[in-house]
Structure 1
């Protein structure tokens, strides 16, 4: 079933029209100049072609007037999309009339493919229309037209209505979308603005005749039912693929973007907590001609929209038209979400798909939201647990006491401790009327935030707010760590999020302020996501040097009042280390030469492995400095290679390894249908941890008292197998574990504060003082999406 490819950060796929029967008045948009008689409602030219379900082409007509439209003596005519001087219009004569709220079906050419016959048409012709592109006109009289341009046809007074689809030269203003063997073009809501591009959408063909009969179903084709019967008691509809007619009250509408439509809710509940009373009606790129409070009967095809592989589907009505019974009705009561409404347990984990499992909304949070998909809900005084994103999204918690961070967020502490109270908020209010609030963690949307529930692949279940609370700024400040003392070595790590020499100066300035003001100018900084000099714009151009990027960064630090750092790094081979294509991200070191010395030993290169050289005095050194750790190992395929460097601080050697492990790309979502989700990316990070641990073990075998710091974006949690490999046996300590649980985070994803960045130290450093400095991840305005962190210690040995 065709469905909508929505991108809340998303493109429109095909939708089509289906029949409406009855005697109520059809809705027309106030802004449009409505037709007062017959118009073309749907055109399909793929009948009988390869892959088609229907055996026959068709044209469907309706009237938007209040009385029957007499079609006797009129014709439906067709012209190829790119007419030549030899092209001729083909005509099919009509007779009879079309009643308000009913359909008039014109059957055209029939071919050998397909399996479903049209219902008995009111008129029959033999025009073989093209599936993808062409022009269809409704004409007074049966004499073929002679116009072959849009202007000439617009001047022909015999043309009552016209639709050019696909690449059609003859059309009203812009062409309607292209059709195909499996899709028609239709007019959602019967809007007629004399612009085919605005008035028509593409989707599954749903022919219906004046008797309300559908394809292959004489005597009927539309099932009268209720929304809760369409939604069913699992995540997919028992009526998927059927054409249904359901009543309800319009509760909200999305009137902008390419994912337009409206939510319909039945005020008469079946009292089954598993079955939602709400549903989304898709109109695609066409603004729905409804108003909140309208009581309507919607006819549409039941479709399951799956935004991404492995995500749940949303049950929707596509190819929809509707009639309006009354306006200004009270809305169904929104379900009030309190601290105790959503279950604490997040999801069942059967070891496979949960899609067909009966919903248990009183037991599992994901089932709860699925059981209320499309329904109105409301939250009072919703606290933000993430900063407003660049896509105008905000994550809030419905459980203010669930794993709160020290700064108002919601910390993620284990694979089976997914915070069930988190829900995403977006706005249905046009931003020109009310900009989306720029919230930081801990801020509150005061009062009521209310709207229908919708699933998004980005963030899971979402409140599409038609009522948005007022933002209360609770004054979250960016942290500042203390300066290191004279005898302390300060080592920080900072993922600078794809920094390249072509970035705006503001990004360099923001990152420099983080180094100088918030990290108090550490002695050493391991950097992740330093890009080459022309960033991703230079894909496959052979540029891998990052000297201009690092120079701009160092200059910005000096301008911010910091020291003039030196840097060390190794250029990767072009297009081998992952990240943005062409960006050639890598790790590197900054260090303050007035506080610490770097031991330069030649030989380091993109493919050359650093080694540990044992000395008779028990003081090992690196074979090259800087040097990459086993860069040829398959564990680092399409990923950054660790960089080892040897430093000297107050006469004592300190070995620092900068890291950026493989990303989490490819992992299944925590709110997906496969439970527990497959975390496939952990395999490579586990291999990387083993390689890195082997290098550290070799260094510590040469000198068990070596001062070792392992730092960087490990892209994994403190409770993950990756960190367990690095810390097993106690050779290294993950310093994130030394913090209180509510402070164990450096990154916020979908409202969950989590630890991806780490600093680990060997046993020898003394008086270790560690701090994650929260300056980015909790804020709407960020210099990077990661928080930096720092360790201060006195080197031993």
Structure 2
């Protein structure tokens, strides 16, 4: 046994002698992949900056940095039980790997670690600013240049809520990021969207600090190490401070002479789900407290009429003066996952008629065009004198798959649905029409289909499927009339965006 141990030690010594002697910034290189990928290297006397449960990071001491803005001085080391501590100066021999585009060493390949000193000063953190990381699209994002390094920022804003994995999207500065027109970089044609490369994520509890659920619009400051995980740059903080809470306010109270129309996606509200009671309570409270109980509420993604009736009953129980009547025509879906569009209408509105439009309209690639047919409500405001109103409730094809293997079906359906709805708008445009709902589309072109501008009859920046001239009188998109920071109904990958809209024509007599 002693001979075997001596032979193993001798082999390790030979490997260490043969391994290239390199600095971390040489391992990282100036591209997304290490020039030493899959090679055994030795990097000497680097500082351990953070230690996690099954990993640690080390970084070139400040005085040995190449000071190049294109290379990182830090790197991740993955091991089940780290044997080092923050502030250790260590030398390491191992195999350079790329895991999900993150350069690292892995214990599984065999590591030789020597502690040269137990307590040295940590490298100075890189300061993130409004200009770094850049907002411009580029083949090598700025954050790649600090992957594995200590970074610090004095001010950032959360651009979305904390995910189920404890990760929150943030952006340096005080202005959150928004989705912009076009296809994400690199795009095959214009317009092109840069993808907001300045957005990254923070995981507050990654290194044992107090974890917290955040919402969009909060301000914070932090210091930590920049990791890269599953396609996103991720800050693992060694310290942080929440410096301001998020604004959360209701719509304005309507005046005595105002009538109100609202739209709400209930996110698959079903009486079959285990959390139905609590979710129904939250939706009911949101309708009353945040939306101020609109006279007409267009809803999307409810299982059926019984769910709307439950909401109406709960609201009346909690607020006896608010009386809603539900309206819904089933789209014919069955099974566990069923979503419909419908209405809740207060007794301030009368002569209500609800009609499903386009239910049997064919799709050019086969089958029916509308999975969730638009629902037209015709009614009268109980004002003096009474005034007619029409509301068209939409829940159109989602963006899922628009650039994937099923892109032809997705783009074609979205385009043909927008054409279909544009004709519905044109047929009702002179009758106090309001078009609301989940358009699953931005207020501008996504580069493939310009759904909203097709329906509204407004100018387009261009798309693969060009806008047709159908609507004779352009509709106004009231969703873009609020303050810029409030122009969103959804957050995706840290970017606020409007997918739910309210379009209106010239209201006659209202």
Offset of 1:480 from its aligned partner? 3.0
Question: Contact 1:629–1:644 at 8 Å: present in 2 too?
Answer: no
Offset of 1:425 from its aligned partner? 1.2
**Aligned residue number for residue 274 of structure 1:** 70
Offset of 1:661 from its aligned partner? 2.4
Deviation sequence 1:658-699 (CA, Å, 0-9, x none): 22223333467xxxxxxxxx8986973564354343344256
Aligned with 2:451: secondary structure?
helix
Offset of 1:265 from its aligned partner? 0.8
Give the alignment partner of residue 220 of structure 2, picking from 439, 445, 450.
Answer: 445
Deviation sequence 1:442-480 (CA, Å, 0-9, x none): 43325xx1111122346x22211122x222344623223
Structure 1 pair 427–103 and aligned structure 2 pair: CA distance change class (3 A): farther
**Aligned residue number for residue 455 of structure 2:** 726
Question: Contact 2:149–2:225 at 8 Å: present in 1 too?
Answer: yes
The answer on 1:496 being equivalent to 2:266 is yes
Q: Which moved more, 1:637-646 or 1:420-429?
A: 637-646
Structure 1 pair 530–391 and aligned structure 2 pair: CA distance change class (3 A): same
Deviation sequence 1:8-56 (CA, Å, 0-9, x none): xxxxxxxxxxxxxxxxxxxxxxxxxxxxxxxxxxxxxxxxxxxxxxxxx
Aligned with 1:691: secondary structure?
helix
The answer on 1:239 being equivalent to 2:32 is no
Structure 1 pair 708–693 and aligned structure 2 pair: CA distance change class (3 A): farther
The answer on 1:315 being equivalent to 2:89 is no
Deviation sequence 1:388-445 (CA, Å, 0-9, x none): 3343223332133xxx3xxxx44444443654543321135555xx432333444332
What is the CA–CA distance in structure 2 between the aligned matches of 1:338 and 1:646, rounded to whole Å? 50
The answer on 1:476 being equivalent to 2:247 is yes
Offset of 1:737 from its aligned partner? 3.3
**Aligned residue number for residue 63 of structure 1:** none
Offset of 1:279 from its aligned partner? 0.9
**Aligned residue number for residue 312 of structure 2:** 554
Give the alignment partner of residue 490 of structure 2, picking from 727, 741, 747.
Answer: 747
What is the CA–CA distance in structure 2 between the aligned matches of 1:697 and 1:245, rounded to whole Å? 68
Normalising to structure 1: TM-score of the pair?
A: 0.54
The answer on 1:715 being equivalent to 2:467 is no
Question: Contact 1:231–1:237 at 8 Å: present in 2 too?
Answer: yes
Question: Contact 2:418–2:451 at 8 Å: present in 1 too?
Answer: no
Deviation sequence 1:734-790 (CA, Å, 0-9, x none): 2223345443222233432221111112x3425xxxxxxxxxxxxxxxxxxxxxxxx
Deviation sequence 1:205-256 (CA, Å, 0-9, x none): xxxx355349xxxxx763332211211111111111112222321111221x
Give the alignment partner of residue 96 of structure 2, picking from 274, 281, 302.
Answer: 302
**Aligned residue number for residue 507 of structure 1:** 279
Offset of 1:276 from its aligned partner? 0.9
**Within 5 Å, which residues of 2 pair with 1:396-795?**
396-400=170-174, 404=175, 409-415=176-182, 416=193, 418-429=195-206, 434-446=209-221, 449-457=222-230, 460-467=232-239, 469-474=240-245, 476-483=247-254, 485-486=256-257, 488-501=258-271, 502=273, 503-531=275-303, 546-561=304-319, 562-574=322-334, 582-599=336-353, 625-630=355-360, 632-633=362-363, 640-650=371-381, 653-666=388-401, 684=410, 687-697=413-423, 700-701=426-427, 705-720=430-445, 721-728=450-457, 730-761=473-504, 763-766=505-508, 795=510
Aligned with 1:274: secondary structure?
coil
**Aligned residue number for residue 120 of structure 2:** 329
Structure 1 pair 630–688 and aligned structure 2 pair: CA distance change class (3 A): farther
Aligned with 1:705: secondary structure?
coil
Question: Contact 2:28–2:72 at 8 Å: present in 1 too?
Answer: yes
Structure 1 runs (4+) deviating above 6 angstroms are 635-639
Offset of 1:628 from its aligned partner? 4.7
Deviation sequence 1:352-390 (CA, Å, 0-9, x none): xx4xxxx4xxxxxx2x11111111101123333333334
Question: Contact 2:30–2:70 at 8 Å: present in 1 too?
Answer: yes
**Aligned residue number for residue 253 of structure 1:** 51
What is the CA–CA distance in structure 2 between the aligned matches of 1:573 and 1:411, rounded to whole Å? 34
What is the CA–CA distance in structure 2 between the aligned matches of 1:414 and 1:394, rounded to whole Å? 24
Offset of 1:505 from its aligned partner? 2.5
What is the CA–CA distance in structure 1 between the aligned matches of 2:405 and 2:249, rounded to whole Å? 32
What is the CA–CA distance in structure 2 between the aligned matches of 1:382 and 1:517, rounded to whole Å? 30
What is the CA–CA distance in structure 1 between the aligned matches of 2:407 and 2:435, rounded to whole Å? 21
Question: Contact 1:699–1:706 at 8 Å: present in 2 too?
Answer: no
Aligned with 1:392: secondary structure?
coil
Task: Compare CA radii of gyration and give the structure with the larger one.
Answer: 1
Question: Contact 1:529–1:586 at 8 Å: present in 2 too?
Answer: yes
Between structures 1 and 2, the one with greater helix share: 2
Question: Contact 1:305–1:315 at 8 Å: present in 2 too?
Answer: yes
Offset of 1:273 from its aligned partner? 1.9
Question: Contact 2:262–2:294 at 8 Å: present in 1 too?
Answer: yes
Give the alignment partner of residue 20 of structure 2, picking from 211, 223, 235.
Answer: 223
Question: Contact 2:42–2:93 at 8 Å: present in 1 too?
Answer: yes
The answer on 1:381 being equivalent to 2:381 is no
What is the CA–CA distance in structure 1 between the aligned matches of 2:166 and 2:279, rounded to whole Å? 21
Offset of 1:598 from its aligned partner? 2.3
Question: Contact 2:394–2:438 at 8 Å: present in 1 too?
Answer: yes
**Aligned residue number for residue 155 of structure 1:** none
Question: Contact 1:440–1:476 at 8 Å: present in 2 too?
Answer: no
Structure 1 pair 757–324 and aligned structure 2 pair: CA distance change class (3 A): same
Aligned length: 467
Question: Contact 1:427–1:436 at 8 Å: present in 2 too?
Answer: yes
Aligned with 2:397: secondary structure?
coil
Offset of 1:593 from its aligned partner? 4.2
What is the CA–CA distance in structure 2 between the aligned matches of 1:266 and 1:518, rounded to whole Å? 52
Q: CA RMSD in A?
A: 3.1
Q: Which moved more, 1:554-563 or 1:492-501?
A: 554-563
**Within 5 Å, which residues of 2 pair with 1:46-445?**
71-72=1-2, 95=3, 97-98=5-6, 103=9, 209-213=11-15, 222-247=19-44, 248-255=46-53, 260-267=54-61, 268-283=64-79, 286-306=80-100, 313-318=101-106, 319-321=109-111, 322-345=113-136, 347-348=137-138, 354=139, 359=140, 366=141, 368-400=142-174, 404=175, 409-415=176-182, 416=193, 418-429=195-206, 434-445=209-220
Normalising to structure 2: TM-score of the pair?
A: 0.81
What is the CA–CA distance in structure 1 between the aligned matches of 2:306 and 2:357, rounded to whole Å? 21
